[in-house]
Amino acid sequence: MRTKLLAAALASAVLLTGCATVPTKGPIRSGSQEGLTPVRGGLGIEAQHPRDNAKPLPLVNGFLEAMSDSRAFDVAREYMTPDAAAAWKPESKISVYDQSSSQAVSQRTDGKVQLSAPLIGTIDERGSWTPAKPGQQVNFTFVLAETSGQFRVANVPAGVFLGSNQLEPRLAPRALYFFNPAKTMLVPDPIYVPNTLPAGQSATQLIQELLKGPTSRLGNGAISIAPEGTSLAVSVPVDSGVATVALSDEAAALSESDRRLLAAQIAWTLRLITNRVRITVSGASLLPDSDVLSFSDFGAYDPSGQDGRLKDLYGVQKGKIQRIRGQDGAEDIGTTPLDNSVLYSSSAQSFAVNLRGDTGAIVTTTKDGLPAVLSGALDSDKKAADVKTTRTDGKVLRPSYDNENNLWYVDRADSAAPRLRMRTPDGKVTEIRANFGGAHPLALRMAPDGVRALLVMRSKTGATSVQTATVGTNDAKQLVLSQFRPLELPLTDITDASWNQLGILVAGKSAKGQPGRPWQVNVDGSQPRLIPGVSTQFDAVKLASNLSVDTLPVVQDSTGELHWQRKDLGWVNMNDGDKGTPIDPVYPG
């Protein structure tokens, strides 16, 4: 079973609500914004049987090519001695290395063959990608022995070694979907799966992984609705475009409402294979009133928090909150003061808007000189008494809203003990336990699900980085920010980051002395590339984006001018004649 699952664990990943790229390193390059990639046949090298009388170096090269084909591990075992073949566990790990060096594989003077190359990243047994730290190497010495007069590999590799040129042809990014603790929104969990398999096998593997629960990336921050022990009664066939998922009897114990939630998990997880899913338990439909389902039937749980207001752009200019108009070309580009808001009279240092577009929060200084976060309606005739005031300490980062209207913020950001807090709509403030390891947060962006956090951090040495983390609970049932994962980006002087429909946007420099640029990055940190069409004439400092497919990325340059991307991938500059007055751009979220 474990070996078969490498067909599933041999990796699969989904980038958030979906970037169709795969982990690679090397030179940063321009790229294109893409949608999700459908399951496609593999174009990688097909595993070949060992040639008779092969010398050590060609034999090892053949072994490396054969182990890259997850359909043919038995062929790869032919390159090994019987004992080594029996002990090899290809499903345990995939180490992706940069094969571009001519010296990646070389024969030593003692007859052994050495694999030595930069490590790009690893994929674990569940399919989760971990980027390599700078300078990490793959180093493995292949020991050869003669078996029946033929050279064979006598020692056991730790899983599979996969050249970076074989990654994209072999593996496809996919997401498993779980729920936030409130059961109001799906949470994507990125893994990698082979793309060389028929639709039915791919669907089977995805649902098998889904029923195991969230990967370590999400910790206990997300939940699965499937009862413990739930499994597939049979494999998942895909016939005439309909995937039939037959669940074991454990799922029969679910309530009617939880059955619908489990159906949402399954339909969203299979959405890149088929838009039509039939789910049964004990031979009957999981949802009695529905036979064939689509992920679109569960749009209420969309991980992006889809709402008609998500594409509305706001900003702060001269301390006053504004609505920025003209992105769609239907009206002149400009700003409209939000002077009907109860927040307008206060001087805003930063601004956040909830996902419904009806409430905002600002960081400000009160009349008594103390920092505070104020929140209230954006369009209201109510009096200032309706403003909610939360006292804060020290430096306060721009707040961030989730889909439950919870407001998240970091204060004491420049101290030795930064503090993450969350305020509920009823005004209750909870401190989220977080150990930032001596680093200082520069930016916090919560995903709509309230589970995933995106952070820009400055280390003790002054280096900046982008990290993701997860909000879960500890043994005392306290909220904890954990599962920190540095994205290990080949960028410097990173100033901002934001969630995006294709992963993450990052403002940073490819090298010291270069201008800041907006980069598109997969949620696991792989394949940084310039946003298409970005001008070389502006220096990116701040970003505005969110997970909505209708949201256009916005960049603030070092002069304070805004630039946003059109749907045709061109760029529009907002220049109202006052470049000396910065506008800090903000989308809901």
End position of a domain, from candidates 301, 328, 354: 301
Query: Among positive and negative, which fits the CA dihedral 12, 16, 18, 19?
Result: negative
What per-residue confidence (pLDDT) applies to 332?
A: 79
What per-residue confidence (pLDDT) applies to 15?
A: 30
Tell me the β-bridge partners of 562: 556, 574
308 lies in some domain: no
Mean pLDDT in residue range 380-388: 77
492 lies in some domain: yes
Strands 359-365 vs 350-353: parallel, antiparallel or unpaired: antiparallel
What per-residue confidence (pLDDT) applies to 575?
A: 66
Cβ density class 255-268: b for 16+ within 10 Å, e for less: eeebbbbbbbbbbb
The answer for residues whose C-beta is within 8 angstroms of residue 440's C-beta and 6 or more apart is 413, 414, 418, 457, 458
Q: Are both 178 and 165 inside the same structural domain? A: no
Q: Are both 538 and 579 inside the same structural domain? A: yes
Residue the block writes with tokens 């995933």: 452
What per-residue confidence (pLDDT) applies to 39?
A: 37
End position of a domain, from candidates 253, 270, 301: 301
What per-residue confidence (pLDDT) applies to 204?
A: 97
Helix 2-9, helix 199-211: angle, nearest 10: 100
Q: Are both 435 and 565 inside the same structural domain? A: yes
Say how many domains are in the chain.
Answer: 3
Question: Two tokens at 530?
Answer: 């310039």
pTM for the predicted model, two decimal places: 0.88
What per-residue confidence (pLDDT) applies to 195?
A: 86
307 lies in some domain: no
Q: Are both 24 and 152 inside the same structural domain? A: yes
| Secondary structure of residue 298 in the 3-state scheme | helix
Q: DSSP string covering 44-104, please? A: SPPP-PPPTT--HHHHHHHHHHHHT-GGGHHHHHTTB-HHHHHH--GGG-EEEE-TTSTTS
Q: Are both 275 and 405 inside the same structural domain? A: no
Mean pLDDT in residue range 278-305: 94
Q: Are both 151 and 179 inside the same structural domain? A: no
Dihedral angle, C-alpha 527, 528, 534, 539, nearest 10 °? -170
358 lies in some domain: yes
Percent of the chain with pLDDT over 70: 90
Mean pLDDT in residue range 410-425: 96
Q: Are both 509 and 450 inside the same structural domain? A: yes
Q: Are both 226 and 273 inside the same structural domain? A: yes
Question: Two tokens at 515?
Answer: 């201008």
The model's pLDDT over 537-559, given as tens digits with 9 standing for 90+, comes to: 778 999 999 999 889 899 999 88
Q: Are both 112 and 186 inside the same structural domain? A: no
Mean pLDDT in residue range 193-218: 94
The model's pLDDT over 214-248, given as tens digits with 9 standing for 90+, comes to: 999 999 999 999 999 999 999 999 999 999 999 99
Residue 430 φ/ψ, nearest 5 degrees: -120, 135
Question: Residue 20: which of 195, 163, 217 has the closest Cα?
Answer: 195
pLDDT at 20 over 60: no
The model's pLDDT over 174-194, given as tens digits with 9 standing for 90+, comes to: 999 999 999 999 999 989 999
Helix 256-269, helix 199-211: angle, nearest 10: 130
End position of a domain, from candidates 144, 169, 194: 169
pLDDT at 197 over 80: yes
pLDDT at 200 over 90: yes
CB atoms within 10 A of CB 365: 13
Question: Two tokens at 152?
Answer: 């064979």
38 lies in some domain: yes
pLDDT at 306 over 90: no
Strands 371-377 vs 388-391: parallel, antiparallel or unpaired: antiparallel
**Domain that includes residue 291, residue range:** 174-301
What per-residue confidence (pLDDT) applies to 527?
A: 74
What per-residue confidence (pLDDT) applies to 16?
A: 32
Dihedral angle, C-alpha 502, 508, 510, 512, nearest 10 °? -170
pLDDT at 373 over 90: yes
What per-residue confidence (pLDDT) applies to 24?
A: 44
Cα–Cα distance for residue pair 489/524, rounded to 1 Å: 10
Question: Where residue 117 falls among pLDDT bands split at 50, 70, 90?
Answer: very high
23 lies in some domain: yes
522 lies in some domain: yes
Question: Where residue 84 falls among pLDDT bands split at 50, 70, 90?
Answer: very high
What per-residue confidence (pLDDT) applies to 426?
A: 92
Question: Two tokens at 314?
Answer: 């706001």
Q: DSSP string covering 317-368, please? A: ETTEEEEEE-TTSSS-SEEEE-TTSTTTTSPPSEEEE-TTSSEEEEEEE-TT
**CB-hemisphere CA count at 13 Å for 189?**
32
The answer for residues whose C-beta is within 8 angstroms of residue 122's C-beta and 6 or more apart is 93, 94, 95, 96, 129, 130, 132
Q: Are both 419 and 463 inside the same structural domain? A: yes
pLDDT at 41 over 60: no
State the average pLDDT for the chain.
Answer: 89
Q: Domain of 465: which CATH number?
A: 2.120.10.30
Q: Are both 393 and 517 inside the same structural domain? A: yes
530 lies in some domain: yes
The answer for residues whose C-beta is within 8 angstroms of residue 238's C-beta and 6 or more apart is 198, 199, 200, 203, 244, 273, 274
pLDDT at 431 over 70: yes
The model's pLDDT over 133-173, given as tens digits with 9 standing for 90+, comes to: 989 999 999 999 999 999 999 999 999 999 998 988 898 88
CB atoms within 10 A of CB 110: 7
Mean pLDDT in residue range 298-309: 87
Q: Are both 334 and 472 inside the same structural domain? A: yes
